[in-house]
């Protein structure tokens, strides 16, 4: 059964440290999403890619966050420097969009639970 794989599952680090979260999308999917979920804000879309190109990153704080897709099998989300307010669960999801932009339901990873002390 194909799955979206996220690593690490949990991360605890001190503020100021760099954090890198990784996501392996389902093979064949051409769209990758990064979400953040907190108790206060709920679920938010940070950025998403289609065919490895960033389609929208308006939800992502640009000064400390960066998202990339070095290749079709890997998406990364980096925070540098990290702050306590970045503590959240970060989900990656992948899906397939047709050439007309119609998007099929997304498949979610299990998330990375990040705690910044």
Is 52 a residue that touches another protein (CB under 8 A)?
no
DSSP states of 34-75: EEEEETTTEEEEEEEEETTEEEE-TTS-TTTEEEEEEETTEE
Among 18-26, 48-56, 61-69, 73-81, which window interacts with another protein (CB under 8 A)?
48-56
Strand partners for 88? 114
What b/e string do you get for 47-73 counting C-beta neighbours within 10 Å, with b at 16 or more?
bbbbeeeeeebeebeeeebbbebeebe
Smallest distance, another protein to C-beta of residue 60, A = 12
Is 107 a residue that touches another protein (CB under 8 A)?
yes
The one among 93, 112, 114, 116 contacting another protein by CB under 8 A: 93
What's the token pair of residue 97?
Answer: 């969009």
* Closer residue to another protein in complex, CB, 59/81: 59
Smallest distance, another protein to C-beta of residue 16, A = 27
Is 98 a residue that touches another protein (CB under 8 A)?
no
Is 2 a residue that touches another protein (CB under 8 A)?
no
């Amino acid at each position: 059964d194909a799955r979206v794989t996220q690593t690490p599952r949990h991360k605890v680090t001190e503020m100021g440290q760099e954090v890198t979260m990784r996501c392996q999308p389902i093979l064949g999917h051409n769209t990758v999403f990064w979400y953040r979920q907190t108790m206060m804000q709920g679920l938010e879309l940070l950025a998403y890619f289609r065919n490895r190109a960033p389609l929208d990153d308006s939800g992502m704080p640009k000064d400390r966050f960066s998202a990339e897709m070095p290749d079709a099998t890997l998406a990364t989300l980096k925070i540098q420097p990290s702050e306590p307010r970045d503590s959240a669960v970060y989900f990656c999801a992948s899906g397939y969009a047709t050439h007309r932009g119609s998007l099929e339901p997304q498949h979610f990873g299990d998330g990375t639970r990040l705690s910044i002390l």
